[in-house]
Chains A and B, each alone.
Chain A
């Protein structure tokens, strides 16, 4: 099995889908001749041609707007946003057209909007954000956040094949740091299914994307130093949310800590907390707790960014408090 980085796995998945289905095409800034800012589509232009690998001017609104039109006509466009922070520029296209077309006219919108998200790379306030919750709040979309190379390939393939619009948030901190064996087979990872990354009985850590490794590191330390067995759940898809995996873990551990890199207020942790209260209140043996980024823009200064982001030490501390509760 070939060893691939996370970013290569995304590219590999897209390549396979373009080979499989002539309706799939790429559209974005610098994705053709240059091969993409992060080289996801390197070599695509030469192989698939200008008709299917379309370079655009710098206008996210135009990229997504054009893609919605293509999807109405039966194509399956994949939009690359060079940094997902600029998804704000096409917010209207996504929330009012992409998300609502099916609801208004029954028109399927089989398109993907993908791009690098997340901090930890000293990218500053415009190149480090986690804007996923704007879209988790928007009915009609699916929101995917892979944490491994294997999932990156399997989920991007599932996203391309889905008849609903899918927002695909790739974590740029993981792009080249995650390297693992990825099968060459044509496999998919279904949307809406979380994965249990580590089994445990004392408390459950629910997380996604770059925080999965942070939680696994924290769980390892808690096991060694405190004898605490933490279960780690990787959500993989935020919308639809895999409630059952969360609830079944809670029924075992009865304590829940949600960790996300997104800022605190309005993050997925609050939504999970409300869901747990509604559906499993009498399973709770302690308060639902969260470790998140602070409610500020992402700082540019490296020490400040480090202070801003969750890390294993912060998770360990919160987990200890919760375990002692």
Chain B
């Protein structure tokens, strides 16, 4: 039976993806969940597993092509018998019922740009995260079976929007097959359930035209080579331009004496690694200091929605990770609830998986504050662009020994320059400098045991 392989939706605000590499050739066998192809989207690069075992029959989207989500990119043959006509009849019979029950669902893949900002809000139950977790579904009063949950997951079907025809309203195999057969995964974007942003553009919020600052002909002279941007490069470019255009960037610089922490680290890193199997780096110290300062100055942990300030209750720290092919910002969720070891583990894990393209889309979303480390490449300091929709980003310079004056004596201390880029729409200089002062104090007077 042919099985359609579709471009998955790798996050809420993602509407297209680029097939970067096919990992299987036509005619090759693939196991279920074995990586089939690689994609690149606005947010992540990822390997996409095969939805079922079978033979790769047809590749519909070539490497390098960009298509909308849910576009069929390939067809697998799972080796099963073709669906008999009777089955189709049952499905066809079940289809109108399911359709009638959920008028709010849009027909085939929603065209992002076409969705009006003032679209009527779907029922409240539709908001929140798409889930296939049996316990959560049970809480929502949705009765399913293991098979139904698997098919829903593989096909991105929002079970909350199906009306089951089985015993007690159970969603049956026939119900879900009918939904899939209609070609429209019933997943309504979670963001559709949130209040419409004041004046915010609908669809792809970060997208901007990458214009030219000079006439085109002035770019091409002498000898040159033209290379198209990768999806990630284009995404970074758009994001940075949008950020600069949106936020009123201001920069503060501070100098922090890291001697105490450097000594602590030198003294304990062997034991830390032995005990925990994780390397001890400087990053968790900075995260801890930022978390503490963010608690003290909540406006730094916010987003701007027109004339509203969204004060986030969660403290989710984005940590920029440089990749050979670009840059990505995985997010440590609820960093304020982690202990020191937990932070170190999260940093190591996210960075490793970022480099091996194993990040999940939800792991690069929902940051409330970001940290970047130009120092790792030897930079004395950097003045980073704010990672939207945050209002501030901390840059760490290189940590090196410098002569400093302490009590009229010159001493050799391990020093670092910290910079804070902040959005002057909501954060004023006074707050920014107090924030930095607090970070500095935490670092210089480090108290927390690390072992």
Contact = CB atoms under 8 A, between A and B. Distances in A.
Contact of A251 (B80, B84, B86): B80
Which of A227, A283, A286, A324 has most B Cβ within 10 Å? A286
A324 B167 CA distance: 6
B147 A285 contact: yes
A252 B80 contact: yes
A285 B172 contact: yes
Interface residues of A, number: 14
Contact of A281 (B81, B84, B86, B146): B146
B166 interface: yes
B148 interface: yes
A285 B148 contact: yes
Interface string A269-284: 0000000000001111
B167 A283 contact: no
B267 interface: no
Contacts of A281: 146
B173 interface: yes
Contacts of A257: none
A324 B149 CA distance: 18
A283 B84 contact: no
Interface string B62-95: 0000000000000000001100101100000000
B87 to A, nearest CB: 6
Contacts of A286: 145
A252 to B, nearest CB: 7
Given A324-B166, A325-B166, A229 B86 contact: yes
A201 interface: yes
Contact of B173 (A227, A229, A254): A254
Interface string B150-180: 1000000000000000110010110000000
A282 B173 contact: no
Contacts of A201: 84, 86-87
Contact of B81 (A229, A252, A254, A284): A252
A283 B173 CA distance: 10
Contacts of A254: 145, 147, 173
Which of B80, B146, B150 has most A Cβ within 10 Å? B146
Which of A201, A285, A286 has most B Cβ within 10 Å? A285
Nearest to A322: B167
A282 B146 contact: yes
Contacts of A285: 145-148, 172-173
Nearest to B145: A285
Given A201-B87, A251-B80, A252-B81, A283 B146 contact: yes
23 contacts: A201-B84, A227-B86, A229-B86, A251-B80, A252-B80, A252-B81, A254-B145, A281-B146, A282-B146, A282-B147, A282-B149, A282-B150, A283-B146, A283-B147, A283-B150, A284-B145, A284-B147, A285-B145, A285-B147, A285-B148, A285-B173, A324-B167, A325-B167
Given A282-B150, A284-B146, A324-B167, 7 more contacts: A201-B84, A201-B87, A252-B80, A252-B81, A285-B172, A325-B167, A325-B170
